[in-house]
Amino acid sequence: MINNAFRLLLTFNATSLLVIIFMVQKGYTLSYFLADAANLDWLYTLPNAVSYVLYILVPLLSTGLSILLSSKLGKDDFKQGEVVSIEHANNSFLPSYLGYFFVALSIGNCETLAFVYAILFAFTFLSQALYFNPLFLIFGYEFYNITTRNGTAIFLISRHKYKKPDEVAISKAFRINNYTFIERG
């Protein structure tokens, strides 16, 4: 149960920037959503940047929450010598993630956004593959593709700066799914 809730949160974190970019590109500020409904006319006086900063705070805080909640996941370890290869994965996923930005910029209306977001969210959640979220970089995390001695390919999210396979010795890695782990240390 906690794994599915955690995966939903990670999926939201990874895909929410699509919505934020759409709202910024369309110029949707807090006053667009709230001023008339709640009689908050003072929202019209706020600079647009205030709305945009508040929008980005949502996935940032959500990513921080997911890091905190990761301690509730199942635990595994990686012993010295168990990892035979390691590859830094930050740069390999960034081009794919930038595709979200271009998609968001080309979406014309909210209905299309909802449809595209729903499909993207479903594919990201159901793929159970990787939970690449560039906001983890802000929290000091790195992304690695590692291969274990028995040939298993694993995606590791970690604050450690690994360069060589023999450096990987993790006493507590939290299992997001069978192929994705987060090391909080």
Separation CA 132–CA 15 (nearest Å): 10
Helices (H) and strands (E) in the chain, counts: 6, 6
Question: Would you call 15 exposed, middle or buried from its count of C-beta atoms within 10 A (0-12, 13-18, 19+)?
Answer: buried
Q: Are 175 and 183 in contact (CB under 8 A)?
A: no
Per-residue pLDDT of the chain (185 residues; tens, 9 = 90+): 677 888 889 889 888 988 999 999 998 887 777 756 656 666 677 788 888 999 999 999 999 999 999 999 999 999 999 999 999 887 777 777 777 778 888 899 999 999 999 998 998 888 766 567 888 889 999 999 999 999 999 999 999 999 999 999 999 999 988 888 999 86
Q: Name the pTM for this structure.
A: 0.84
Q: Are strands 74-78 and 142-148 parallel, antiparallel or unpaired?
A: unpaired
Closest CA to 179 of 149, 152, 142: 152
Tallying the residues shown for the chain, one arrives at: 185
